């Protein structure tokens, strides 16, 4: 494996552009839904877009991205797009992210979000749990970028992910926001590791509503669960390959704490 | 990279680079060989997502089977080290259902074959189906044990 220098990383960040299609309101909450275990974030983001009729307001353009476009109604779209209304900005990816692109992509999005004076950043994702099919009630855990945000999550009744590893876009998001002093939270719903999990996405959305007041009806998400699982198979397969490369199973590890 | 830079590199750097390239090439070949559509119009079948876990006592295979009709699920051993899984769907799924109009085809079953990485007792297979997930448990066959002295 080769490692990039700081200067090379800086160049990578500069190679990512966010093209705005509409005026972006300031002072909103920025939400991330990226491919990860159970595709929790992507399924939740997709449901938010359809339930709130969110409009595409910006998209990511970069030569670093694989040469992929997503066709919708015959027209090309970037696989990484930003939707929103006057309450939220939602960044979502329709393709699995290559491990080596996670840092520059997340940094570029967070820097852009800061330029829009977002008041908080929230990443929706999952935490894999063994014997998931035997769980009737799924828990949602939270991790935060600061003690104040941790308290906010606790005050809202969220269980805190106290110790452990986090791997993937939400890990980079949390660390970068902590460095910049941006209030940020990651919501992690218990889910399947390798299978799309609409139930977990519904749980993450319930907690998003609890935290931000952005409410959506999740009943359709649950009713269409099987259809979503079938549609999400190929994306899950590609995501599995990337999760293996980024050693996602490290989240099961028990860390050695150095205090 | 400039010629002067190239001259300064040690033999170890060159070996590292060679091994890295070799690894990347092997990974590329592996991914290319595994790349295929997850559906087959000829057999009207879809390949389900699946996972294998090997524990000390057993091999656990799980398969995601949305829309599967429980009483049509079949798991058959194929030789000593593979199983074949099939199931009918409760409804026919077409490309139209996914908004895809450039392919034609309907699917009404899942089908896949999975290799079991360690010896198991196929005849002691246990199967259950819950929340659309098929779980197959195969006790491991420990042919001999080395005594600890």
Whether A229 sits inside 8 A of B66 (CB atoms) is yes
B contact test, residue of A4, A73, A131, A195 with most B CBs within 10 A: A195
CA distance A160 to chain B (A): 27
Please state at what angle helix A198-212 crosses helix A40-52, rounded to 10 degrees.
Answer: 60
Question: Is A258 inside any structural domain?
Answer: no
pLDDT in tens, A224-259: 999 999 999 999 998 988 888 878 777 777 777 766
Q: Which helix (H) or strand (E) holds A190?
A: strand A184-191
pLDDT in tens, A60-107: 999 888 888 999 888 999 999 999 999 999 999 999 888 888 999 999
From the list B31, B93, B131, the residue facing A133 with the nearest CB is B131
- Percentage above 90 pLDDT, chain A: 74
Q: Are A168 and A116 contacting, i.e. CB atoms less than 8 angstroms apart?
A: no
Take residue B145 and report the two structure tokens written for it.
């044990």
CATH number of the domain at A123, please: 3.40.50.10900
Question: Is A259 inside any structural domain?
Answer: no
Interface of A with B (CB under 8 A): 1-2, 132-134, 192-196, 225-227, 229-231, 233-234, 236-237, 240-241
Question: Is A257 inside any structural domain?
Answer: no
Range of the domain at A122: 6-130+137-247
Between A133 and A90, name the one with better pLDDT. A90
Q: Are B44 and B105 contacting, i.e. CB atoms less than 8 angstroms apart?
A: yes
Question: Residue B133 and residue B73: Cα distance in Å, rounded?
Answer: 11
Question: Is A255 inside any structural domain?
Answer: no
pLDDT in tens, B115-143: 999 999 999 999 999 999 999 999 999 87
Residue B2: predicted pLDDT? 45
Question: Is A29 inside any structural domain?
Answer: yes
Whether B64 sits inside 8 A of A195 (CB atoms) is yes
CA distance B147 to chain A (A): 30
Question: Is A179 inside any structural domain?
Answer: yes
Question: Residue A84 and residue A22: Cα distance in Å, rounded?
Answer: 10
Q: How many domains does chain A have?
A: 1
Provide ipTM, 2 decimals: 0.82
Rg, Å, chain B Cα set: 23
Whether A226 sits inside 8 A of B66 (CB atoms) is yes
- Using a 10 angstrom Cβ sphere, with 0-12 exposed, 13-18 middle and 19 or more buried, the burial of residue A31 is buried
pLDDT range class, residue A59, cuts 50, 70, 90: very high
Residue B3: predicted pLDDT? 46
pLDDT in tens, B87-112: 999 998 888 888 888 888 888 999 99
- Does the pLDDT of residue A37 top 90, yes or no? yes
From the list A1, A2, A194, the residue facing B49 with the nearest CB is A194
Question: Residue A141 and residue B62: Cα distance in Å, rounded?
Answer: 25
pLDDT in tens, B39-62: 888 888 899 999 999 999 999 999
CA distance A110 to chain B (A): 31
B contact test, residue of A75, A233, A246 with most B CBs within 10 A: A233
Whether B38 sits inside 8 A of A227 (CB atoms) is no
Whether A193 sits inside 8 A of B51 (CB atoms) is yes
Question: Is A1 inside any structural domain?
Answer: no
Question: Is A46 inside any structural domain?
Answer: yes
Q: What are phi and psi of B95, to 5 degrees?
A: -60, -30
pLDDT range class, residue A1, cuts 50, 70, 90: very low
Q: Count interface pairs A-B at CB distance under 8 A.
A: 46
- Short-list A51, A92, A84, CA closest to A216: A51
Whether B133 sits inside 8 A of A133 (CB atoms) is yes
């Amino acid at each position: 494996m080769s490692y990039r220098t700081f200067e090379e990383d800086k160049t990578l960040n500069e190679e990512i552009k966010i093209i705005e299609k509409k005026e972006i309101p300031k002072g909103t909450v920025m939400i991330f839904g990226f491919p990860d275990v159970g595709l929790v974030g992507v399924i939740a983001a997709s449901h938010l877009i359809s339930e709130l009729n969110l409009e595409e307001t910006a998209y990511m353009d970069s030569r670093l991205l694989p040469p992929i476009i997503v066709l919708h109604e015959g027209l090309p779209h970037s696989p990484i797009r930003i939707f929103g209304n006057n309450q939220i900005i939602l960044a979502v990816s329709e393709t699995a992210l290559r491990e080596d692109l996670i840092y520059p992509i997340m940094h570029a999005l967070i820097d852009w979000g800061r330029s829009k004076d977002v008041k908080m950043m929230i990443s929706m994702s999952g935490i894999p749990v063994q014997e998931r099919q035997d769980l009737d009630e799924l828990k949602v855990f939270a991790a935060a970028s600061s003690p104040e945000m941790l308290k906010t999550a606790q005050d809202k009744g969220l269980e805190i992910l106290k110790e452990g590893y986090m791997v993937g876009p939400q890990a980079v998001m949390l660390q970068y926001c902590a460095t910049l002093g941006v209030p940020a939270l990651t919501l992690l719903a218990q889910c399947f590791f390798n299978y799309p999990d609409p139930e977990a996405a519904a749980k993450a959305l319930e907690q998003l509503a609890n935290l931000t007041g952005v409410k959506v009806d999740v009943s359709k998400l649950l009713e269409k669960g099987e259809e979503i699982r079938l549609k999400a198979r190929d994306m899950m397969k590609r995501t599995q390959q990337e999760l293996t490369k980024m050693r996602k199973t490290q989240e099961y590890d028990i860390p050695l704490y150095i205090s | 990279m400039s010629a002067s830079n190239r001259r300064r590199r040690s033999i170890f750097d060159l070996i590292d680079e060679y091994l890295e390239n070799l690894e990347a090439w092997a990974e590329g070949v592996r991914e290319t060989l595994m790349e295929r559509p997850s559906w087959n119009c000829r057999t009207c079948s879809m390949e389900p997502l699946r996972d294998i876990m090997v524990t000390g006592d057993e091999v656990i295979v799980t398969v995601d089977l949305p829309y599967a009709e429980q009483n049509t699920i079949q798991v058959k051993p194929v030789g000593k080290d593979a199983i074949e899984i099939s199931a009918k769907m409760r409804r026919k799924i077409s490309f139209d259902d996914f908004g895809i109009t450039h392919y034609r085809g309907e699917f009404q079953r899942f089908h896949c074959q999975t290799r079991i990485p360690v010896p198991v007792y196929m005849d002691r297979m246990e199967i259950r189906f819950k929340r659309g997930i098929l779980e197959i448990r195969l006790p491991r066959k420990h042919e001999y044990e080395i005594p600890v002295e």
